[in-house]
Amino acid sequence: MSNIAVVGMQWGDEGKGKVTDLLTPAFDIVARYQGGNNAGHTVFVKGKKIVLHLIPSGILHENVLCIIGNGVVVNPRAFLEEIEQLESLGIKVDDNIVISKNAQLILPYHPSIEEVTEKIRGDKKIGTTCKGIGPAYVDKTAREGIKTGDLLNMDVLRSKVEQSVKLKNIILAHFQSPIFEPEEIIKECLFYRDKIGKYLQDVSYLIEKKINEGKSILFEGAQGTLLDIDHGTYPYVTSSNSTAGGVCTGLGVSPDKIDHVIGIVKAYTTRVGSGPFPTEIHGSTGKHLQKKGNEYGATTGRPRRCGWIDATALKHAARINGIKKFVLTKPDVLDELDEIKIGIGYSYKDSPLDRFPTESWVLEELKPVYKTVKGWKKRIHGTKDHQSLPESFLDYVKLIEDLVQAEVVMISTGAEREDTVFLRDKMEKFIDLDKIVDRPDINNES
């Protein structure tokens, strides 16, 4: 059976959570490879909203193992809160979760350092989620980080915490921010050791063993390609590789184990936080998309900036991730529009640009070039079969496919699992679709 990676092709919030949850029954394992509780993956099941931050979006299904890889930064407090939330909804969380012993910890001083750093950045602030993600990855690359596995060795833990807190306190004190007591952090870590110790394993070996047993894996990306630390709109990005390459480093999996990379594309674009956004809409249409698409951050509640779909950025994402197939989400949000714009290129200083630029000053100044198409002006929200989709909507989909040079394999028409059009002939090439569509809550044909 194929292993697939589900990767966002924009600035996050493309609907990765919905798609991952929906496809999970065709897999044995769902694994997160990067990011942390900055992610907010929303799943709706029969009107009930569940937002996952750190735990993979496969957790709502029985007999599926959810793995948190070494590339993820783990805030144990957030992890335990998420488990509590799931258990209060009657979702079993026990031997169906594994955390890599090699994952880095987010400890209480990381968000504090981030708040100070964002303040210093002033009007150049990134607008992070302030969950301590950046500072935890800084510690990792500075080789100052504390791993989940360190919780199991008191001597190592004590010496690392003492060292780390000493350094952080110098910065925090300098900016008149409250400092931390090493003994308190150690005490907190011992509490976490008792609570999460049972979940810790060598994930790279575990995955190899499972693959050898014939198990299949869905690798769930967090954030999106344009937030990737290397290939996104740096410095307005997150601090990890959200692109498909992150699967290998973030789980200890070799590249030949990824059979297909499935891109997730929202029918328009959103972005939370600061940074360039060439196709941003500043007027009333932007507000309309924000309201109709309920575009408010699933982690911070901040309003998401809204804009038109950007084919140049999508082409960049398809290239970096090796995406030939994608899922289109939220086109229903465009149902009422008379006209829809599609960003088909850029111009910079009056010359055309044929690719997504990496220089921040170019990104900030370039102008989008649009193609305008007529809206379909029909309700596609909740549509389940391909035949019911309006012709003009299918033309719009074809245009995006041609521009991005990738094919649509599934169209999401609402937040619920059953609000989905499966393109059976295309999906069957990489997924056992019967395991999904034969479920009682999903019963679609195309």
CB under 5 to 8 A by kind: which of Mg ion, ligand IMO, ligand GDP, none does 248 bind? none
Closest CA to 436 of 58, 52, 162, 51: 58
Instruction: Give me 31's structure tokens.
Output: 């694994």
Active site residue: 21, 28, 41, 150, which one? 41
Angstrom distance (rounded) from CA 174 to CA 172: 5
Q: How many residues at the interface with ligand GDP, by CB under 6 A?
A: 22
Give CA–CA dist 130/168, Å, rounded: 16
Q: Does 13 bind Mg ion (CB under 5 A)?
A: yes
* Residues within window 39-98 making contact with ligand IMO, judged by CB under 6 A: 39-41
How far is the C-alpha of 351 from the C-alpha of 213, rounded, in Å? 55
Residue of the chain from 40, 134, 275, 278 that contacts ligand GDP (CB under 6 A): 40
Which bin fits 132, alpha (ψ -120 to 50), beta or left (φ > 0)? left
Binding piece for ligand IMO, criterion CB under 6 A, among 79-87, 188-196, 219-227, 387-395: 219-227
The listed partner (Mg ion, ligand IMO, ligand GDP, none) that binds 239, CB under 5 to 8 Å by sort, is ligand IMO
User: CA–CA distance from 193 to each of 71, 74, 92 (Å)?
Assistant: 20, 13, 21
Closest to ligand GDP by CB, 217 vs 298, is: 298
Question: In 3D, which of 265, 271, 262 has the Cα closest to residue 400?
Answer: 265
Span near ligand GDP by CB under 6 A; candidates 175-183, 239-247, 336-344, 406-414: 406-414
Q: Is 415 in the site for Mg ion (CB under 5 A)?
A: no
Given the rule CB under 6 A, which of 131-139, 261-269, 337-345, 411-419 is the region that contacts ligand IMO?
131-139
Q: Which residues contact 257 (CB under 8 A, 6 or more apart)?
A: 3, 207, 211, 217
**Beta carbon nearer to ligand IMO, 17 or 76:** 17
- The region of 106-114, 204-212, 297-305, 411-419 touching Mg ion under the rule CB under 5 A is 297-305
Q: Which residue's Cβ lies closest to ligand IMO?
A: 273
Please give the structure tokens belonging to residue 334: 């465009």
Residue list 274-303, contact with ligand GDP (CB under 6 A): 294, 298
In the residue annotation, 231 being an active-site residue is answered as no
Please provide the DSSP assignment of 362-417 as one string.
HHHH-EEEEEEEE---S--TT--SGGGS-HHHHHHHHHHHHHHT-EEEEEE-SSBT
Contact set with ligand IMO (CB under 6 A) = 8, 11-13, 38-41, 126-129, 131, 133-134, 222-224, 227, 238-239, 272-273, 298
